[in-house]
Amino acid sequence: MLYELTAKEIKALIEKKEVSAKEVVESYFQRIEEVENKVEAYLTLCREEAFKKAEEIDEKVKRGENLGELAGVPVAIKDNMCTEGIRTTCASRILEDFIPPYDATVVERLKRADAIIIGKTNMDEFAMGSSTENSAFKKTRNPWDLETVPGGSSGGSAASVSAGEACMALGSDTGGSIRQPASLCGIVGLKPTYGLVSRYGLVAFASSLDQIGPMTKDVSDCALMLNVIAGKDERDMTSVLFDKPDYTSFLGMSIKGVRIGIPKEFYKEGIEEGVKQRIMEALKTLEDLGAKIEEISLSYADYALATYYIIAPAEASSNLARYDGIRYGYLTENYTDLRELYMKTRSEGFGREVKRRIMLGTYVLSSGYYDAYYKKALKVRTLIKKDFDKAFGKVDLIVTPTSPTVAFKIGEKAEDPLKMYLADIFTVPVNIAGVPAISIPCGFSDGLPVGLQIIGKPLDEPNILKVSYAYEQASGYYRLKPNI
């Protein structure tokens, strides 16, 4: 079936004129018809636009024109990235009918590469959550076990790729929102170095932490997609100017002599036994491939989650102040003055977790608490970043589990915010430090996927991809698909 192929395979078939882009899109929409009522990965499907784009690509093939790097590849976009003319909700009532007048830079670049956008995926409202249960519209289910969550906040993107409803997807990651759902759904997810990918057109959550990245079936596709989306953008002043390599060129290189650090603080407690075993086996495989494993210390890692839950809500409370019901988005019905308009619009438009974080952020920034909380967290951020700098003086990469557990039951953590926050304990330090990290499948525990997190130095995506590819080819776990 065409929907089972990777982006690399699809592109090759289209170039050889063995299949048409239209056939690929048909295969995907047929698959969506079959499984979407079980998985519920999408908030909006773009059937018409997708077939139109497919026709354009097929015309190009007929005329013998050059094709883009992702020609004919069906891509799903997390619903917090602006798509011109296509509803972009952030899974929030407050943006329920928002139709962006422009494309996010990443969307523009995907279109230019001849990718086909087939839909917008479900997520935790404003990307705040780790299970996609905070969506105002629907609950997405994990294709490996429909009773469990797909992770979050990019749960719709992860589930769509895992279930074969999209060939690849874009996610965004503020504290683990690409890597944790990738881990729980058994796919590959990369959070690039902060600044590698433009955030223009990404609905802002915590601007100093947010980063867009690929969610794909395998490491090759991850490199392919990164080639398309990475690079300096004039419209995002925090995007970095650097010599962009061809990320696919590092795949297949030997990993002999690569130094891999295991932070002892991460392997202490709270990791499920099955997850721990898979990670140990993965380290053994990496060692067999020639990597050198050594213990390192990230002494402030224990404080990363607390730091995150001050910085992220603080930035969110400021970013989300823009939702006033006036220029776009939901507007309340009856009001007499401006303050009532704001209060009613925001109270009716935002969900429970979003309100919780806005208030937490407002509190830590408020007069009298700013120094004790916000400034303190920024200082600890310095220490966490120095920790990583020091570790990377000794090793090339750091390996940890992506998530301490496999996918949990829907509803299991929904009533206890702090318990839910702990799902991100291994992913959050990476955003705090701004370094890149990937999650790749490394086996199963109780029939559910386990993810291996590989963290690199700033801009060292090449090393991450090289080692990920070597492991992936040696282990073969990426070939296993959920039976749905």
Partner 1 sequence: MISKKDVEHIALLSRLSLTEEEKERYQKELSSILDYVNKLKEINTDDIIPTAHVIDLKNVFREDEVIPSMDRDKVLANAKEKQNGCFKVPRIIE
Residue 302 in contact with residue 268, Cβ under 8 Å? Answer: no
77 closest CA partner among 46, 35, 100, 39: 46
Among 151, 175, 329, 351, binds partner 1 (CB under 8 A): 329
Identify the active-site residue in 92, 162, 177, 220: 177
Q: Quick count: other Cβ atoms within 10 Å of Cβ 30?
A: 12
Phi, psi of 198 (to 5 degrees): -65, 140
If DSSP codes are grouped into helix, strand and coil, which group holds residue 172?
A: strand
Pairing relationship of beta strands 292-296 and 168-173 according to DSSP bridges: unpaired
- Pick 208 or 297: Cβ nearer partner 1: 208
Identify the active-site residue in 78, 111, 120, 466: 78
CB of 369 to partner 1, least distance (A): 9
CB of 95 to partner 1, least distance (A): 9
DSSP string, 318-354: HHGGG--SSSSS---S--SSHHHHHHHHHHHHS-HHH
CA dihedral sign, ordered 413, 414, 418, 420: positive
Phi, psi of 114 (to 5 degrees): 65, 20
Terminal Cα distance for the chain, rounded: 14
Q: Which residue stretch of 139-147, 170-178, 395-403, 417-425 sits at the interface with partner 1 (rule: CB under 8 A)?
A: 417-425
Residue 44 in contact with residue 119, Cβ under 8 Å? Answer: yes
Calculate the alpha carbon distances from 265 to 175, 380, 420 in Å. 19, 17, 20
Residue 238 in contact with residue 214, Cβ under 8 Å? Answer: no
Q: Which residue stretch of 21-29, 130-138, 178-186, 351-359 sits at the interface with partner 1 (rule: CB under 8 A)?
A: 351-359
Among 54, 75, 258, 360, binds partner 1 (CB under 8 A): 360
CB of 183 to partner 1, least distance (A): 23
Query: Amino acid identity, residue 482?
Result: P
Is residue 231 near partner 1 by the rule CB under 8 A? no
Q: Which residue stretch of 164-172, 216-224, 230-238, 466-474 sits at the interface with partner 1 (rule: CB under 8 A)?
A: 230-238
Is residue 242 near partner 1 by the rule CB under 8 A? no
Is residue 445 near partner 1 by the rule CB under 8 A? no
Is residue 462 near partner 1 by the rule CB under 8 A? no
User: What character string, x for contact with partner 1 (CB under 8 A) and - otherwise, covers 280-319?
Assistant: --------------------x--x--xx-xx------x--
Among 22, 138, 244, 355, binds partner 1 (CB under 8 A): 355
- Pick 105 or 475: Cβ nearer partner 1: 105
Residue 152 in contact with residue 124, Cβ under 8 Å? Answer: yes
Is residue 98 near partner 1 by the rule CB under 8 A? yes
78 is catalytic: yes
Is residue 377 near partner 1 by the rule CB under 8 A? yes
Q: From the CA atom positions of the chain, what is the Rg in Å?
A: 21
153 is catalytic: yes
Is residue 376 near partner 1 by the rule CB under 8 A? yes
Which residues are tagged catalytic? 78, 153, 177
Residues at the site binding partner 1, with contacts judged by CB under 8 A: 97-99, 101-102, 194-195, 208, 234, 237-238, 240, 300, 303, 306-307, 309-310, 317, 321, 325-329, 331, 335-339, 341-344, 346-347, 350, 355-356, 358-360, 362-363, 366, 373, 375-383, 385, 417-418, 421, 433-434
